[in-house]
Amino acid sequence: MRKLRLGVMISGSGTNLQALIDACAAADYPATIEVVISNRPNVRGLERAEQAGLKAVTIDHKAFDDKESFEDALHECLSDHKVELVCLAGFMRLLTAGFVNRWRDRMINIHPSLLPSYKGLHTHARALEDGVRFAGCTIHYVRPEMDNGPIVMQAAIPIASDETEESLIAKTLTYEHKMYPAAVRLIAEGKARVSGNKVAFKDVDLVMPGLISPLP
């Protein structure tokens, strides 16, 4: 079975990276992680990659004179490892339109809200402050505009009456860890592809009695 070659970009602890590592360990999973790149040195995510026997690279944005040279280094590393799909997993740097367009329809991101609501930071606190009844998380293809692009998968997460920011973060992460490997599988198996400004699905159940759509 031919497997999709992934490059995972992180900035911190790498819990979604770990979810992908665990998924890729299964013989029937249709993707492999070729390289893990962090823009910050000595983060837990790099340890996770090394412990899994993966190539772990630090490309520190602070070591470059400008954003373009930093992104050139990212692009070169991903290209050197023949990456076919870039997975942003807690990568906390805004990417320029030039970089995003080089990887157009070949780069996905996970964001802790039901996009297009609550783009940017502090999504859980803002949702609680607004009193909405559902929070969520979204996996989407990346576009130059922040937290924008064709949506692959979403989870709607009920907010409890006694919810705190910390409990909502923890609850959301459990969904993220299920969704990221599932979304990559859909893409790797050719069941999800970009069509215009949306994602088109093939042989996927989009109607289900749960909170994740499409079905993981």
Q: What is the mean pLDDT of the chain?
A: 94
| 191 — pLDDT class (breaks 50, 70, 90) | very high
- Do residues 159 and 168 touch, judged by C-beta distance below 8 A? yes
| CATH number for region 1-103 | 3.40.50.170
| 209 — pLDDT class (breaks 50, 70, 90) | low
Element (H, E) at 195: strand 192-195
Each residue of 28-78: pLDDT tens digit? 999 999 999 999 999 999 999 999 999 999 999 999 999 999 999 999 999
* Token pair of 93 as six digits: 């740097």
| The listed CATH number (3.40.50.170, 3.40.30.10, 3.40.50.300, 3.40.50.150) that belongs to domain 112-137+153-216 | 3.40.50.170
Q: What's the mean pLDDT in 96-115?
A: 98
Give residue 113's pLDDT: 98
Instruction: Determine the Cα–Cα distance for residues 191 and 23; give it in Å rounded to an integer.
Output: 18
Give residue 17's pLDDT: 98
Concatenated DSSP letters for 16-57?
A: HHHHHHHHHTSTT-SEEEEEEEESSTT-HHHHHHHHTT--EE
Is residue 111 flagged as an active site residue? yes
Q: Where are the domains of the chain?
A: 1-103, 112-137+153-216
Which of these is catalytic: 61, 75, 111, 122? 111
